[in-house]
Structure 1
Amino acid sequence: MSTYETGKALSEQVNPGMEDALRARYGHLVPTLAEGVVDWAYGRHYADETLPLRERYIATIAALTAQGTIPQLKVNIGGARKAGLSREEIAAVIWQMALYGGMPAAINGLNAALEVFAAEDAA
């Protein structure tokens, strides 16, 4: 199986429709972006079994919280839930980033998590 095929299967598991959404939004600007994200991010990184998927999501949530990249954080919180992280674990990772990304970044991250959890409850 190619890294693209591996990435496609994994991305559909944790973030269904992501490739189509990326293609619809950015395809006219960067035609290879959607396939590249699936191949590189999911097929080569998230699928690498050196670090379990749960732990990869912990690292991703921490980094995105510290960077303050809320839209991507929300997407990855959703993926983390599908990879088995509890709401409390996600909140703890975000809160830990108050030490490294600052209190505003952690509060913004917690607010993003609350939005994801509310959407989850509504579904």
Structure 2
Amino acid sequence: MIDSLGTYARGKELSEQVNPGMEDALRARYDALVPGLAETVVDVAYGKFYARGGVDEKTRLLATIAALTAMGSQTRPQLKVNIGSARAVGASREEICEIIFQMTLYGGFPAMINAMNAAIEVFDAEEADA
């Protein structure tokens, strides 16, 4: 079992807080091809990285948004998930957009525009759900 140090349990709690249903969605999509992938994402990404101390969840998610933005358009699905997660822990639209805009210096204008469009899609979905 992966949870020998409690990282899976911490990861599960955090992932359900910021991205409810993510593990089930990953399991449904990928476990037939790679059994245990969903549990590994929860354990490693959320339990061992996102649940670490040192910085708060909002800061960690804004850093993730910055990195995904600079990496370019191939990260669009992950960027949208992390923008939604950042909103769930209190990041404002303005904070997210400023972080994305700042990445123009590192990823270029196309990467920034693609990320900004992803953010707009997340914000529009929030409004539609309201």
Same fold (TM over 0.5): yes
Unaligned runs of 5+ in 1: none
Whose helix proportion is higher, 1 or 2? 2
Partner of 2:45: 41
Residue type at the aligned position of 1:85: A
TM-score by length of 1: 0.97
Q: Tell me how far apart the structure 1 counterparts of residues 8 and 71 of structure 2 sit (CA, whole Å).
A: 27
> Which of 3, 7, 10 in structure 1 is aligned with 2:7?
3
1:30 aligns with 2:34: yes
- The separation in 1 between residues aligned to 2:44 and 2:19, in whole angstroms, is 15
Write the distance in 2 (CA, Å) between the matches of 1:25 and 1:66.
Answer: 27
Distance in 2 between the 1:93 and 1:30 partners?
34
Q: Percent identity?
A: 67
SS in 1 for 2:79: helix
Counterparts in 2 of 1:1-123, with a 5 A limit? 2-68=6-72, 69-123=75-129
- Paired with 1:51 and 1:29, the residues of 2 have a C-alpha distance of 35
User: What SS is found at the alignment partner of 1:122?
Assistant: helix
Read off the aligned partner of 1:23 and give its amino acid letter.
R
CA deviation digits over 1:14-68, x for unaligned, max 9? 0000000001111111111100000011111111011211110111000101112
Runs of 4+ with deviation above 6 angstroms: none
Q: Does the residue aligned with 1:40 lie in a helix, a strand or coil?
A: helix
The root-mean-square deviation of aligned C-alpha atoms, in Å, is: 0.9
Give ranges in structure 2 of 5+ residues lacking alignment: none
Matched residues, number: 123
